[in-house]
C-alpha cells in the first residue's frame, strides 16, 4: 500500500474496492455497512439518493409509496454515526403524482419524519437551482403546456444537535460589481439609514470581508460534458453514471460544514463526485454504492494521474470478480497534502 494512502478506517468493515490518499470506496448496501461504524465518528454525510420518481431508472429508484419508509430507514443509522456537531445533507428532486399534474409531497414527508421520528433538527433548507435542467415532466410541461419547468431540488441540511459545526465564511460568494465599486469608496456611494425594522446596518458596512454571505438558493449548472471522468469513461468504453450531480454541490457543504481532515461519507455515492471533491479538499472520505459497475466507474475519477495505457488495465482490475485486495489509486501529493506535511514537520 502506497505511503499516505488511507487505511481501512474500521476493522469490522469488509475491504474497500479502492483506496486513495484520503478515502475509500465500498461496494455494498450502505445500511449494512453503516452498522459496522462506531458511534459519533462521522462529521458529514452528504448524499443524493435515488429519487422517488414515477418511472423506474437504471440506478434503481424506489416507488413513491415506499420511498419515505425506505429512506428514513437510513436516517437512524446516519444519526447514530454522526458526531454531536455533525450534519446530514440530503439532495432530493421533486416529483409529480401519477397521471395528474399535481406534486408529490414525498420530500416534505421525508423531512418531517427525519425530524419528528428520527430525531434530526432542520438546520436550514437549501434549494439547488440547475439552470441547465431539461424541461420536465414532458407530459405537463412540453406536451400540454400546463406547468412550468421543474429546475429546483430541495436540499435538507439536517443536524444531530441544535449547534452543528458550520462556518459560512468558508463559502463566501463573490461580490457583485456594484458592491466592489462601493467598497472602493463607501462614503461616496452609500449613506446608511435606519431600516424600517429599526436595525442599524452602518456598523461594518463598507468593509471588505472577502465576499458576500451566500443565500440558500444555490445556482449550480449541471453541465459536465468534457470532464476527466467522462474522458476516462469513454476511454474504457463505459457510459457515465446517468444521475451525476455537479461537484459544486458537495463542495459547498464540505467547505461549509467541515474542516481539516474531518470524515465525509456518501451513502449513495454513484459516480462518487463527493469523494472526488473531498479528496481535493483534503478531507477523509468514505463512499458506499450498491451497484458494482458504478463503483468500478467511479474509480475513474481518481485516475487522472495515470497515463491512458494504464487506465484500461486499472479499470479491468477493478471490474474483476477475482480481485483479492483494494486497488491503490492514490496519486501524487496534492498542494493540500504538501501544505499539511509542512505544517506537521
pLDDT, one tens digit per residue, over 166-190 is 999 999 998 777 766 766 666 565 5
Please say if 91 is a catalytic residue. yes
Please say if 48 is a catalytic residue. yes
Cβ neighbours of residue 7 closer than 8 Å, sequence gap 6 or more? 1, 19
The superfamily in CATH containing domain 18-172+214-344 is Vaccinia Virus protein VP39 (3.40.50.150)
Catalytic residue among 9, 49, 50, 246: 49
Q: What's the pTM?
A: 0.85
Catalytic residue among 48, 159, 227, 271: 48
pLDDT 10s digits, 98-156: 889 999 999 999 999 999 999 999 999 999 999 888 888 889 999 999 999 989 999 99
Pinpoint the residues of the chain covered by CATH 3.40.50.150. Answer: 18-172+214-344
Question: Which segment of 146-160, 230-244, 245-259 scores lowest on mean pLDDT?
Answer: 230-244
Question: Which segment of 82-86, 131-135, 218-222 scores lowest on mean pLDDT?
Answer: 131-135
Give me the pLDDT at residue 86, please.
98
Give me the pLDDT at residue 3, please.
43
Catalytic residue among 9, 16, 43, 91: 91
Beta pairing, strands 82-92 & 152-159: antiparallel
And the C-alpha cell for 203?
456598523
Amino acid at each position: 500500500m502506497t505511503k499516505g494512502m488511507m487505511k481501512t478506517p474500521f476493522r469490522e468493515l469488509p475491504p474497500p474496492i479502492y483506496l486513495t490518499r484520503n478515502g475509500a470506496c465500498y461496494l455494498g448496501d450502505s445500511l449494512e455497512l453503516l452498522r459496522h461504524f462506531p458511534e459519533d465518528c462521522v462529521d458529514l454525510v452528504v448524499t443524493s439518493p435515488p429519487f422517488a420518481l414515477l418511472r423506474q431508472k437504471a440506478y434503481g429508484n424506489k416507488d413513491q409509496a415506499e420511498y419515505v419508509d425506505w429512506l428514513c430507514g437510513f436516517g437512524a443509522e446516519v444519526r447514530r454515526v454522526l458526531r454531536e456537531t455533525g450534519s446530514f445533507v440530503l439532495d432530493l428532486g421533486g416529483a409529480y403524482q401519477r397521471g395528474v399534474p399535481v406534486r408529490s409531497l414525498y420530500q416534505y414527508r421525508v423531512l418531517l419524519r427525519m425530524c419528528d421520528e428520527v430525531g434530526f433538527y432542520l438546520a436550514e433548507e437549501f434549494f439547488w437551482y440547475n439552470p441547465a435542467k431539461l424541461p420536465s415532466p414532458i407530459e405537463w410541461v412540453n406536451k400540454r403546456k400546463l406547468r412550468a419547468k421543474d429546475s429546483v431540488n430541495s436540499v435538507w441540511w439536517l443536524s444531530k444537535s441544535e449547534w452543528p459545526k458550520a462556518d459560512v465564511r468558508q463559502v463566501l460568494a463573490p461580490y457583485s460589481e456594484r458592491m466592489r465599486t462601493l467598497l472602493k469608496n463607501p462614503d461616496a456611494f452609500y449613506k446608511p439609514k435606519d431600516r424600517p425594522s429599526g436595525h442599524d446596518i452602518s456598523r461594518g458596512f463598507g468593509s471588505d470581508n472577502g465576499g458576500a454571505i451566500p443565500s440558500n438558493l444555490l445556482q449550480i449548472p449541471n453541465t459536465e460534458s468534457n470532464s476527466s471522468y467522462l474522458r476516462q469513461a469513454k476511454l474504457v468504453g463505459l457510459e457515465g453514471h446517468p444521475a451525476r450531480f455537479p461537484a459544486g454541490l458537495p463542495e459547498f457543504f464540505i467547505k461549509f460544514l467541515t474542516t481539516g481532515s474531518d470524515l465525509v461519507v456518501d451513502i449513495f455515492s454513484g459516480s462518487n463526485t463527493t469523494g472526488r471533491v473531498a479528496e481535493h479538499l483534503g478531507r477523509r472520505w468514505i463512499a458506499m454504492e450498491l451497484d458494482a459497475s458504478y463503483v468500478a466507474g467511479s474509480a475513474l475519477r481518481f485516475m487522472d494521474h495515470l497515463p491512458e495505457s494504464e487506465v484500461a488495465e486499472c479499470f479491468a482490475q477493478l471490474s474483476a470478480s477475482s480481485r483479492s485486495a483494494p486497488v491503490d489509486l492514490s496519486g501524487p501529493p496534492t498542494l493540500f497534502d504538501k501544505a499539511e506535511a509542512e505544517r506537521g514537520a
